[in-house]
Amino acid sequence: MPHRFERAEDWARLFDDPSREAWQKPDEVVALMNLSPGQTAVDLGAGTGYFLSRLSRAVGPRGAVIATDIEPDMVRYMNERAAREGLANVRAIAAPADDVGVSARSADRILIVDVWHHLADRERYAARLTRALKPGGAVIIVDFTLESRRGPPADHRLAPERIIAELRAGGLAAELASESLPDQYIIIGRRP
């Protein structure tokens, strides 16, 4: 599902809408990541950086948060946001559409929110996620249910079983997480 997200300030009204907290439950999502102080978390396709402050707190001052996006204006916006909010352990970088954008074995956790359905070759991408994760690391994918009232058009949504199969094809052990999001599901893939 190719789609451009240029002009970060325009998207910030939607992506950072306070009502998002009720339906996306970001604290619950970050808790499921099971982050520890000192770890490195990647927020892949982070947009305007909605999760950055929560991730920053979870990994603490000795940890690192790397926010990636393919849109240069989103990267600019997130770096400015990190500076404005005093998130010294956060940096935003541009990543290509077909790669994670971080070094091999550099990430403890990778968060992918509302992005998976945009990727072209997801099995190949899953293999790149596996490469980016440290041994024992995990990827957390949050995406819209087939029945959701929000999100992309219905024909662009993915059943969780399909994402699990794609992650497994990329070398990850994957399962559906137990959560309470009203319009989304969470899948956790772990690098053995």
CB 32 within 8 A of CB 57: no
100 domain residue, yes or no:
yes
69 domain residue, yes or no:
yes
Model pTM score = 0.92
38 domain residue, yes or no:
yes
CA distances in angstroms from 132 to 44, 63, 151, listed in the order given: 12, 17, 27
pLDDT tops 50 at residue 156: yes
pLDDT category at 180 given cuts 50, 70, 90 is: confident
Positive or negative: CA dihedral 153, 171, 132, 95:
negative
pLDDT for 62-114, tens place per residue?
999 999 999 999 999 999 999 999 999 999 999 999 999 999 999 999 999 99
3-state secondary structure at position 121: coil
2 domain residue, yes or no:
no
CATH number at residue 42: 3.40.50.150
61 domain residue, yes or no:
yes
Sheet of strand 107-113: strand arrangement: 90-94, 64-69, 40-44, 107-113, 133-144, 184-190, 173-176
pLDDT tops 80 at residue 13: no
Range of the domain at 181: 19-190
Domain count, the chain: 1
- Please identify which residue in the block is written with the tokens 């396709």: 45
